[in-house]
A and B are shown apart, each in its own frame.
Chain A
């Protein structure tokens, strides 16, 4: 009998503890829940959340999606009852996928902060996404190596400084001459590895492809906005395919790595090659600075890291600038309570207009923001960010917007990347790459 009672009590305890443990997990819900896209800034956001709670008493929950898993994480998080109140979409295509969840924020203060309100994501009368960081990419070069080349007696070109490289032909002449003299220059190749392994090929299938498609969209621009024009395009002609090939060929033929081995290289590999001074150039954006400076034993000096435009051999490209834009737009979840939505906007406004917030944004997050609340002095100080600001402020340059935010889907980009890998390995011809771009565009858009 005694045993029976004991057994009953024990099993009751067991059951009760099951439920109470579950109960413990349910803490007080935070009013603001931000699903962060940038894993490299996860720690900074955690810190910010704490600071904000100290100042205002409002709890902020920050969850960071692991690299390349934002869509997956968002898909599962947003279906929960405690859903993210602030999330981000990557442009018009991202908005299209998430429009059932995006709140119209045209009356928010955050929107009024924008220096250029055209940057926001519009749909009808509403504003659904607000960019919070401006980024730029081009060909990053090591000025020390370039200077060394220009000083060479054996130099076969008549170009004497980087500022004279203003077209693809000149770039090609310099690069090919540098390749023949790489031993003298102390480098192993002019360009860092054209990383083509799976998930590491976005610099080519997205960033590089942006340039020829931009020129195509400018040609018959009936919307006066190449991005919207591209967004409407059911089909593309890809008539600048040859120009796309120009620069891609230059990359892979003057690379530190043999063409057939590119399928195993990652972005980190190529940034390390640049940081260690093994190469003179690498195509990437200002976010790459943290990778360059983070490489152990890097030899490149901060003052030598510069950026030049990606010339692809278009007529009149002398004034072409770098590619500047964003794929980071804040959106507020439409389906959470009004209280939460307001708290979320308040948090973002605090982040981009209060002294503490701004300090974090420019110094720790290193964002060049598109907001008028930031003064010139409050822009980040790393060498690549400075280059972006230089290109943005110099009237001479026609910078290329990031129209790849209107590319139809991830699958399109992946298929283009696959085709580029096949081309680099020699298993496919350039015509096949061209066909893939055109046909995949059509099938993914429909």
Chain B
């Protein structure tokens, strides 16, 4: 059997996926790009207006820059905390302590619950605590901010932990033993052997956490919905609100969405480029 023989089946196997990809991704994306330069009510009655939408997106009352800044702050904090916690949990749970399998499962479980549900659960928990001091989560944007960070950590740590565990288990015991024989202590082993060896895991974890933190929507909607006064509104929610709650702002919402896409893509690609360089071949 030669590979070439199978070539002609290529269209049959790829076509369904390609069609689905076109319908669900490429076409909406191109349409979205086009719509961001138009004024429209529904997607079928668009009128071209040039870059006006992009200018309006930065007007004082659109809240785009504020929400972007809030998102950046949130992303920095949660990317750091999630990865640090996930990595150390992975370190602990790859040691030969009893019950590691159970703990891995437990830590992973929050990831199986949907964002909206998690948002409401945490809203109840956080309000339950704050009520004792006559506050609620809407009293101060700081509560909402840290609420989101905690929620995101709770949800994402387990998933990242699994990726780190896979990375750590892949490290050859030969290297670790050699290091031990050479007299390397725990800290040196960690920084000189374990971390460089799990760089591929770090790449993927950073990528996932950065993009997910930026794109966060469900959790934001359920936990605070931007309250108080849109001061805990992240970019995705801001775009949604622009699109749906203001008359004649559909195009502006679309323009914001395009800019948002570019920002997230640039950040994610830059991160991939930077961490890939640090990866070593096993």
B residues near A, CB below 8 A? 9, 12-13, 15-16, 41-45, 61, 123, 127, 131, 134-140, 224-230, 241, 244-249
Contacts and interface: CB of A to CB of B under 8 A. Distances in A.
A11 B138 CA distance: 56
Given A100-B41, A421-B229, 14 more contacts: A71-B244, A72-B244, A75-B41, A76-B42, A196-B138, A198-B224, A198-B225, A199-B225, A258-B134, A261-B131, A263-B136, A409-B245, A414-B241, A425-B228
Contacts of B43: 79
A421 B42 contact: no
Contact of B42 (A7, A75, A196): A75
Q: Which 10 pairs from chain A and chain B are nearest by CB?
A: A263-B138, A198-B225, A410-B245, A418-B229, A79-B42, A264-B136, A411-B246, A11-B12, A79-B44, A263-B136
Interface residue SS majority, chain A: helix
B41 A11 contact: no
Contacts of B135: 260-261
A78 B123 CA distance: 35
5 contacts: A18-B16, A100-B45, A261-B135, A263-B138, A411-B241
Contacts of B16: 14-15, 18
A440 B230 CA distance: 14
A14 B13 CA distance: 10
A411 B135 CA distance: 26
A260 B241 contact: no
A261 B136 contact: yes
Nearest to B126: A264
B247 A96 contact: yes
Interface residue SS majority, chain B: loop
Given A79-B43, A97-B247, A409-B245, A421 B9 contact: no
Interface in A136-176: none
A422 B245 contact: no
Interface of A: 7, 11, 14-15, 18, 71-72, 75-76, 78-79, 93, 96-98, 100, 196-199, 258, 260-264, 408-411, 414-415, 418-419, 421-422, 425, 427, 440, 443-444
A419 B229 contact: yes
A75 B16 CA distance: 29
B62 to A, nearest CB: 10
Contacts of A415: 229
A263 B227 CA distance: 8
Nearest to B224: A198
A414 B138 contact: no
A261 B16 CA distance: 53
Contacts of A97: 41, 247-248
Contact of A443 (B61, B127, B245, B248): B61
Nearest to A265: B136
A421 to B, nearest CB: 6
B127 A264 contact: yes
B41 A425 contact: no
Contacts of A79: 42-44
Given A75-B42, A444-B246, A427 B228 contact: yes
Contacts of B136: 260-264
A415 to B, nearest CB: 8
Nearest to A263: B138
A164 B226 CA distance: 43
A414 B139 contact: no
B12 A198 contact: no
A263 B45 contact: no
B107 to A, nearest CB: 29
Given A15-B12, A264-B136, A78 B42 contact: yes
B13 to A, nearest CB: 8
A443 B248 CA distance: 13
B227 A11 contact: no
A153 B9 CA distance: 93
Contacts of B228: 263, 418, 421-422, 425, 427
Contacts of A199: 225
Nearest to B246: A411
Contacts of B226: 198
A395 to B, nearest CB: 38
Nearest to B229: A418
B44 A411 contact: no
B141 to A, nearest CB: 10
